[in-house]
Amino acid sequence: MIRGVLFDMDGVLADSEQFICRAAIIMFSELGLTVQPEDFKPFVGTGENRYIGGVAEKYGLKVDIEKVKARTYHFYTGIIKGNLKPLPGAIDFVMSCLDRGLKIAVATSADAVKMNASLAEIGIPSALFHATVNGLEVDNKKPAPDIYLKAAWKIGLKPKECLVIEDAVSGIKAARSAGCRCLALTTSFNRSLLKEADWICGNLANVPEESLNW
């Protein structure tokens, strides 16, 4: 029986990639390096250490990752003001989960700074969830199951009692490896690539009822 829902953040509740990309480009420009949006694509969803560090490595630039992340987040929190919006159905679905008496958690590869700023901006603050897990809390990133195992543990449930909502192939693999059932959204990848999920839909405004009744 389902007792909890574990939400990925980017691509599920909001789409922040364009904004963190813009912030990182500004940060790199301060260091005298001109980078392009496509430079970041191989590192999307891997957490900011790799997202920023991978691009720095590509151009042979040595950086203090904590300092450049802090500077990137400084720009990010300003850029998202009035611009970052919840994805369709996100707020209503989160509230409906609470109305059903389900435990809810966010499990994101993003750092806590980005997670908290993004959730606050879209009107679903982190305090609304029973627990959150950010990318700094686990050693092994998706597709490893660690982040969803930790999220289930934090809300006091077994993984098999949890539904994971994901938009990425690596996230679906992480959910299945953790022993959770998975609902995939087609916000980032073509439906044909998400076939390992138990259910697939367009966004949180169109969640199949059977994904919440098992």
pLDDT at 45 over 90: no
Axis crossing angle, helix 65-79 with helix 112-121, rounded to the nearest 10: 0
Q: pTM of the predicted model, to two decimals?
A: 0.92
The reply to whether CATH 1.20.120.790 applies to domain 4-15+85-212 is no
Encoding tokens for residue 98?
Answer: 């609470």
Q: Answer whether residue 58 shows pLDDT above 80.
A: yes
pLDDT at 70: 95
Residue 1: which pLDDT band, with cuts at 50, 70 and 90? Answer: very high
In the annotation, is 10 catalytic? yes
3-state DSSP assignment of residue 103:
strand
pLDDT at 163 (0 to 100): 98
pLDDT over 80 (residue 46): no
Measured CA to CA in angstroms, residue 194 lies from 115, 133, 184 at distances of 24, 23, 7
User: Quick one: average pLDDT of 6-30?
Assistant: 96
Whole-number pLDDT of residue 78? 98
The angle subtended at Cα 121 by Cα 183 and Cα 172, nearest 5°, is 20
How many Å apart are CA 185 and CA 197, to the nearest integer? Answer: 9
Per-residue pLDDT tens digits for 23-41: 999 999 999 999 999 999 8
Q: What angle do CA 159, 161, 165 make, to 5 degrees?
A: 75
pLDDT 10s digits, 146-190: 999 999 999 999 999 999 999 999 999 999 999 999 999 999 889
What's the pLDDT score for residue 75? Answer: 98
> Which of 107, 80, 112 has its CA nearest to residue 16?
80
Q: 83-113, pLDDT tens digit by residue?
A: 999 999 999 999 999 999 999 999 998 899 9
Length of the chain: 214
Write the CB contacts of 47 (distance below 8 Å, at least 6 apart in sequence): 109, 110, 111, 135, 136, 141
Residue 2 has pLDDT above 80, yes or no: yes
Mean pLDDT over the full length of the chain:
96
> Whose CA is closest to 112, among 133, 128, 129, 127?
133
Identify whether 8 is a catalytic site residue.
Answer: yes
- pLDDT of 124 above 80: yes
Contact 154, 131 (CB under 8 A): yes
- Sequence-separated (6 or more) residues with CB below 8 Å from residue 82: none
**Residue 23 to residue 28: CA distance in whole angstroms:** 9
Separation between Cα atoms, residue 145 and residue 175, nearest integer Å: 6
Cα dihedral angle (191, 193, 195, 197), rounded to 10 degrees?
Answer: -90
